[in-house]
């Protein structure tokens, strides 16, 4: 009887962290992940350095899969190799990400020592008893499948909060999914994008050789998603529409997109999507048809601006390949302050720099990748004016913070419309991806799935 109590206690303990995380973040994860019962095989072995080392390795693998499937729900565009690539930038990222990583590592280490020194010192099993426990777990999963034959386990939407399940089974089942499909690819390839892009009119003008505006600004707007309620988007864009009389035209819309920031950039600049995030070694010929390269042939001076460090996403390597002649990152923008997002420059303070770049040549194409609206949406607010309570959004929610930062961005951008030097400027703005929201419950009610928003207008 004592053995059963310890086994039940072990099963509850190893799931507590993930049950709490799932509840806090509004994520789907089995209340009991039976995979951890596999660790009981070490209760059949003598306790020595080898068995303890193997226990650590096995627990790390199961724990990591659990963590990965939680990350995948918040950031559905991340693949396994991409996650390994992005881990190199963790100490350049938001403090919250570093705190979460530290908490996760600490929980893993504490859990391992509790499992090894408390539970597994008390549990002693024979191989036959271990086999019966595994057969029992398999039987429970089989019964669950009979009661619920519909397969709800989708790679990008694992929100079913079932009472029992196997994360390892899910991971193996979807090993050919886009989450791990790039494991065998070493060199990054740019493939035709399967998604729409807001710059389609510009590509069509280039292909048909129609006249272009002399000054073009393309903005890929960090974490700008299509809101579930049109009134919310109208509030975010209100400062732009208040100046509608100063515009030749204004159009807006949305389209579905699943991908990381760099994929959103390549979607708009090149109508391409990358097989991995590591673009440093991508051949220059793959960027031949990107907008900057095409516009450069038309006599445009091509410029790019981004407030983060140049090493992020290898932008210092692939921006020149895409056709940008002049590039400004954090290092070249000392007058734009320092904001929280990646300890980068403040978007609001970059407006004068954007204006200067547009006026730097008779024909200019300026590309701006924003930064301050990056998750976790805790950056400095220089411009107030959006009332979340009036939109029936919780004031302290991530959604509200995202809305306020987006309102601030468009308020700052609207300043260009009033500027006499900006007459005739054509502006494209598109979200890179839908906003990652840690509380998916808020996400479902606030945003329209994985859709990104876009707006296109021209100053008279």
pLDDT in tens, 333-353: 999 999 988 889 999 999 999
pLDDT of the residue at 20? 82
For 383, the token pair is 């411009």
Residue 223 near residue 379, CB atoms below 8 Å: no
Q: How confident is the model at residue 87 (pLDDT cuts 50, 70, 90)?
A: low
Give the strand pairing for 215-221 and 364-369.
Answer: parallel
Q: Check residues 96 and 163 and name the one with the higher pLDDT.
A: 163
Instruction: Identify the helix (H) or strand (E) that includes residue 256.
Output: strand 247-256
For 230, the token pair is 């049109």
Q: What is the CA radius of gyration of the chain?
A: 25
Residues 6+ apart with CB under 8 A from 353: 305, 328, 333, 335, 336
The whole-model pTM stands at 0.77
Instruction: Evaluate if residue 146 carries a pLDDT over 50.
Output: yes
pLDDT of the residue at 350? 97
Window from 25-39, 240-254, 390-404 with minimum mean pLDDT: 25-39
Residue 292 near residue 367, CB atoms below 8 Å: yes
pLDDT of the residue at 182? 43
Nearest CA to 344 among 316, 319, 322, 373? 373
Residue 338 near residue 188, CB atoms below 8 Å: no
Q: How confident is the model at residue 176 (pLDDT cuts 50, 70, 90)?
A: very low
For 415, the token pair is 């300043």
**Residue 210 phi, psi (nearest 5):** -80, 155
Distance, in Å, from the CA atom of 142 to the CA atom of 144, rounded to the nearest integer, reads: 5
pLDDT of the residue at 165? 82
For 327, counting Cβ atoms within 10 Å of its Cβ (0-12 exposed, 13-18 middle, 19+ buried), the class is: middle
Nearest CA to 156 among 133, 125, 179, 123? 179
Window from 272-286, 291-305, 353-367 with minimum mean pLDDT: 272-286
Q: Check residues 259 and 294 and name the one with the higher pLDDT.
A: 294
The CATH class, in words, for 189-459 is alpha beta
Instruction: Evaluate if residue 156 carries a pLDDT over 60.
Output: no
Distance, in Å, from the CA atom of 9 to the CA atom of 355, rounded to the nearest integer, reads: 63
For 456, the token pair is 């296109």
Average pLDDT of the residues of the chain: 87
- Collect contacts of 103-112 with beta carbons under 8 A, ≥24 apart: 104/67, 107/17, 108/59, 108/60, 108/63, 111/13, 111/14, 111/17, 111/59, 111/63, 112/55, 112/56, 112/59
Domain boundaries in the chain? 2-183, 189-459
Nearest CA to 427 among 353, 368, 340, 344? 368
Residue 214 near residue 362, CB atoms below 8 Å: yes
pLDDT of the residue at 181? 45
CA distances from 412 to 120, 336, 400 (A): 60, 13, 18
| Cβ neighbours, 10 Å, residue 243 | 16
| Four-residue CA torsion sign, 362, 367, 370, 371 | negative
Residues 6+ apart with CB under 8 A from 441: 26
For 125, the token pair is 């099993």
pLDDT of the residue at 248? 96
Residue 80 near residue 183, CB atoms below 8 Å: yes
pLDDT of the residue at 278? 76
């Amino acid at each position: 009887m004592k053995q059963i109590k310890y086994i039940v206690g072990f099963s509850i303990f190893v799931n507590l962290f993930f049950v709490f995380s799932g509840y806090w973040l509004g994520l789907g994860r089995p209340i009991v992940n039976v995979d951890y019962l596999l660790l009981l095989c070490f209760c059949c072995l003598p306790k020595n350095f080898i068995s303890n080392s193997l226990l650590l390795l096995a627990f790390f693998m199961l724990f990591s899969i659990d963590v990965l499937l939680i990350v995948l729900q918040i950031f559905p565009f991340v693949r396994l190799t991409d996650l390994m690539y992005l881990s190199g930038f963790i100490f350049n990222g938001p403090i919250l990400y570093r705190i979460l990583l530290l908490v996760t590592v600490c929980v893993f280490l504490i859990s391992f020592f509790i499992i090894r020194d408390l539970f597994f010192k008390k549990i002693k099993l024979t191989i036959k008893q271990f086999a019966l426990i595994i057969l029992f777990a398999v039987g429970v999963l089989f019964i669950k499948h009979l009661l619920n034959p519909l397969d709800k386990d989708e790679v990008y939407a694992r929100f079913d909060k079932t009472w029992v399940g196997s994360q390892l089974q899910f991971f193996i089942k979807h090993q050919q999914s886009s989450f791990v499909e790039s494991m065998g690819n070493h060199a990054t390839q740019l493939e035709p994008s399967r998604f729409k892009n807001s710059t389609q009119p510009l590509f069509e003008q280039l292909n048909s050789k129609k006249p272009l505006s002399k000054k073009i600004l393309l903005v890929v707007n960090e974490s700008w998603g299509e809101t579930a309620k049109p009134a919310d988007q109208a509030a975010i864009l209100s400062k732009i529409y208040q100046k509608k009389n100063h515009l030749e035209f204004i159009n807006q819309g949305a389209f579905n997109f699943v991908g990381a920031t760099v994929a959103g950039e390549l979607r708009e600049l090149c109508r391409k999507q990358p097989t991995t995030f590591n673009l440093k070694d991508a051949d220059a010929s793959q960027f031949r048809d990107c907008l900057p390269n095409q516009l450069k042939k038309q006599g445009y001076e091509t410029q790019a601006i981004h407030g983060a460090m140049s090493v992020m996403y290898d932008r210092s390597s692939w921006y020149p390949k895409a056709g940008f002649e002049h590039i400004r990152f954090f290092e070249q923008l000392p007058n734009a302050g320092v904001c929280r997002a990646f300890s980068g420059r403040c978007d609001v303070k970059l407006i004068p720099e954007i204006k200067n770049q547009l006026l730097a040549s008779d024909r200019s194409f300026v590309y701006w990748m924003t930064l301050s609206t990056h998750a976790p949406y805790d950056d400095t607010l220089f411009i107030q004016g959006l009332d979340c309570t009036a939109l029936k959004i919780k004031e302290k929610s991530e959604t509200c913070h995202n809305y306020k930062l987006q309102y601030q961005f468009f308020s700052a951008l609207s300043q260009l419309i009033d500027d006499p030097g900006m007459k005739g400027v054509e502006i494209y703005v598109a979200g890179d991806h839908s906003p990652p929201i840690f509380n998916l419950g808020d996400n479902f009610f606030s945003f329209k799935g994985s859709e990104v928003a876009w707006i296109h207008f021209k100053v008279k």
